[in-house]
Amino acid sequence: MATSQVETVSTTADKAKLALAVALVLGALAGFYLLAKQGPVVQWGGLIAGLMAAVVVFLTSEPGKQFVAFGRDSWREVKKVVWPARKEAMQMTAYVFAFVVIMALFLWLTDKTLEWVFYDLILGWKK
């Protein structure tokens, strides 16, 4: 049985940074609506500036640094993937489409057969 550890924000500074990031997001959203009379440029500029400030504050916290490290590791793993050639991808796509068509026909025939058996033979409900 494997045990999993849950990592939480432990330092007060990280908690404060995360709270500040949330406050900046909420402030950016509130500012977006409060600046509606100033015009769309000021409105969107305030929203984008507030969101960017929230991202910067988040990325300076420990969870933000872990998030960036996770992204780097994920990108490194994506580079290791061997992608299929175009011909192979087209063949597999054709196989999937053929299977879907065959399965659809099978299910349609099964449905019509059961409909015929129940409604025409057993119940005698002619259409």
Give the pLDDT of the chain (127 residues) as one tens digit per residue. Answer: 555 665 554 689 899 999 999 999 999 999 999 999 999 999 999 999 999 999 999 999 999 999 999 999 999 999 999 989 999 999 999 999 999 999 999 999 999 999 999 988 888 776 5
Q: Is residue 3 part of a domain?
A: no
Q: What is the pTM of this model?
A: 0.58
Residue 28: other Cβ atoms inside 10 A: 18
Does 72 lie in the same domain as 25? yes
Task: Quote the number of domains for the chain.
Answer: 2
Does 17 lie in the same domain as 75? yes
Computed on alpha carbons and rounded to an integer, the radius of gyration of the chain in Å comes to: 29
Does 98 lie in the same domain as 70? no
Give the H/E segment covering residue 95.
helix 86-115
**Which range marks the domain in which residue 124 is found?**
84-127
Does 61 lie in the same domain as 21? yes
Q: Is residue 4 part of a domain?
A: no
Q: Is residue 1 part of a domain?
A: no
